[in-house]
Amino acid sequence: MKVEEKKKLQEATKFIQFEFNKATLKPSSYPTLDGLVELLNAYPDYNLGISAHADNKGDDAYNLRLSDERAASARAYMLSKGMTDTRIVSHGYGESKPIADNATEAGRALNRRVEFDVYLPDDPNPAETKYGPAPEIPAAPVKAAPTAPVKKAPARKAPVRKAAPRKK
């Protein structure tokens, strides 16, 4: 793969955005992902690794789950454009691999990212080489199913009995 095309992969990180606190891609991300699909179609021997990361705001387990869902969302979009599922893997790393200081908003913004790495099938996934194996995603907390309020049957009044006429 040409150097300028690998640079496109690195630049793509800057253009992938999600709805706040969700794994829903913003439409502004679609052109970048479409470009990556074209790039992979031009190089059918390569696979793509998608790794997503988070800042340190919030619960560790939540950030790990959200980053994994965001990586999966980018993968799902590319699969919807005709990519073969065996060529793309996605993992979330949560807040475990920052590239900037989480003490500032600018640093946290840099840490919220999605990275793309190409590799040949017999080579290791570059994300795993850089960051190690992806952490295991804890099970999402189980929310109790809402229960319908119990409706009481309308109270029935006993029939009114007329008093017997009084004897005079």
> Per the domain annotation, does 96 fall within a domain?
yes
Q: What is the pTM of this model?
A: 0.78
pLDDT for 9-43, tens place per residue?
Answer: 888 888 899 988 899 999 999 999 999 999 999 99
Considering its fold, how many domains does the chain have in total?
Answer: 1
> Per the domain annotation, does 63 fall within a domain?
yes
> Per the domain annotation, does 65 fall within a domain?
yes
Q: How far apart are CA 16 and CA 31, in angstroms?
A: 9
Comparing C-alpha atoms, which of 61, 51, 48, 66 is closest to residue 128?
51
> Per the domain annotation, does 140 fall within a domain?
no
CATH number for 60: 3.30.1330.60
H or E stretch at 92: strand 88-92
pLDDT for 44-92, tens place per residue?
Answer: 999 999 999 999 998 899 999 999 999 999 999 999 999 999 999 999 9
| Count of CB atoms situated within 10 Å of the CB of 97 | 18
